[in-house]
Amino acid sequence: MLNGNVIAITSGKGGVGKSTVAVNLALALADIGKKVALIDLDIYGYSVPKILNIESKPKTMNNKIIPVGHENITVMSMGFLLKGNDPVVWRGPMLGKMIDHFFDDVIWGKQDFVILDLPPGTGDIALDLHHKLPKCQEIIVTTPHPNAVHVAERAGMMAKQTNHTILGVIENMSYFSPPNSEEVYHLFGKGGGETLASNLDTNLLASIPLVHPQADGEPSVLLTQDEQLASVYHSLATNLVETLTCEEVK
Ligand SMILES: Nc1ncnc2c1ncn2[C@@H]1O[C@H](COP(=O)(O)OP(=O)(O)OP(=O)(O)O)[C@@H](O)[C@H]1O
Ligand SMILES: [Mg+2]
């Protein structure tokens, strides 16, 4: 059974950094002493094992799954249940069963926070989540570009329609500032996060800069490679801890 504050990282839009934000927020919360589970709910497009460079697989005990422990967080992903880079070729109803499996058949233990990495869009998984975890809260991710905002907003509208609490908006890839320079470049435009937050009657929680990707073969965990980024994620994590209280979700 899941317990703790469940926060879904979502967006109608693909490729805006949901998984990156989910992973880094989970690590930042663990850094400030919280017990954190990270569940990759992108069943078709699972990416968390690769982002964290996790090679180990979960073990089982009495028909229950023991999730993978990694850097102080507890992780579950469809990627752990498949061989190599196998594609998932299921229809919708199987996705719902897999969500049940992740929530009910995994030994989660006591958690302060459960971070859910959602697939893009407002399809089956997002819909199932609204029914299965009515107390789930959501953070909507967008880039500053108006087109991203337009699509991302649909995830927020869906949250509102199903009475999920929207904690706020994260604007990712907000700007680029070259190392050792005061210059700031708004490569994808400006203000999208503010616009989305205002359209959804919520707050902009963080603006996360674009950073250089890691060198080949390194995990794309941005927290460890960039002081500016680490400070943004740690402020976000502290802010969430101060504003939320842990409660049972199911
Ligand atoms: N702030 C950032 N700076 C630089 N690169 C970033 C940043 N955030 C994300 N990325 C990169 O952008 C790409 C897309 O990020 P990510 O996979 O997290 O997006 P997503 O929204 O989860 O995508 P999908 O919709 O496919 O699940 C990845 O290569 C990631 O490393
Ligand atoms: Mg993703």
User: Which of 20, 27, 218, 226 to mutate for ligand 1's pocket (most ligand atoms within 8 Å of CB)?
Assistant: 20
User: What residue's CA is closest to ligand 1, atom 28?
Assistant: 17
Closest residue by Cα to residue 126 from 10, 231, 3: 10
Q: Residue 181 gets which letter from DSSP?
A: -
Query: Could you tell me the pLDDT band of residue 21, with boundaries at 50, 70 and 90?
Result: very high
172 lines ligand 1 (CB under 6 A): yes
pLDDT tens sequence across 98-141: 899 999 999 999 999 999 999 998 888 888 888 888 889 999 99
Give residue 246's pLDDT: 57
Distance CA 59, CA 161 (A): 38
Tokens standing for residue 212: 């250089």
H-run or E-run covering 205: strand 204-208
Q: Percentage of the chain surpassing pLDDT 70? A: 95
**Domains of the chain by residue range:** 5-243
Q: With a cut of 70, say whether residue 214 has pLDDT above it.
A: no
Mean pLDDT of 154-164: 91
Q: With a cut of 70, say whether residue 249 has pLDDT above it.
A: no
Return the axis-axis angle of helices 92-104 and 124-132, rounded to nearest 10°: 40
Give residue 102's pLDDT: 92
User: Which of 10, 19, 125, 172 to mutate for ligand 1's pocket (most ligand atoms within 8 Å of CB)?
Assistant: 19
219 lines ligand 1 (CB under 6 A): no
Taking the CA of residue 119 as reference, the ligand 1 atom at the shortest distance is 27
208 lines ligand 1 (CB under 6 A): yes
Q: Collect contacts of 156-163 with beta carbons under 8 A, ≥24 apart.
A: 156/196, 156/199, 156/200, 156/202, 157/200, 158/12, 158/122, 158/126, 158/127, 158/130, 159/10, 159/130, 160/200, 162/130, 162/134, 163/134
Q: With a cut of 70, say whether residue 215 has pLDDT above it.
A: no
CA of 157 to the centre of ligand 1 (A): 22
CA of 239 to the centre of ligand 1 (A): 23
Give residue 216's pLDDT: 65
User: What residue's CA is closest to ligand 1, atom 18?
Assistant: 17
Mean pLDDT of 7-18: 95
Cβ-contact 119, 42 below 8 angstroms: yes
45 lines ligand 1 (CB under 6 A): yes
Task: State the residue for tokens 């990495």.
Answer: 117
Mean pLDDT of 230-240: 94
Give residue 226's pLDDT: 78
Give residue 92's pLDDT: 75
DSSP string, 77-122: EGGGGSSTTPPP---HHHHHHHHHHHHHSB---S-SEEEEEPPSSS
Q: With a cut of 60, say whether residue 248 has pLDDT above it.
A: no
Give residue 233's pLDDT: 95
5-243: which CATH topology?
Rossmann fold (3.40.50)
Cβ-contact 16, 148 below 8 angstroms: yes
Residue 64, SS3?
strand
pLDDT tens sequence across 32-81: 999 999 999 999 999 999 999 999 999 999 989 999 999 999 999 999 98
220 lines ligand 1 (CB under 6 A): yes
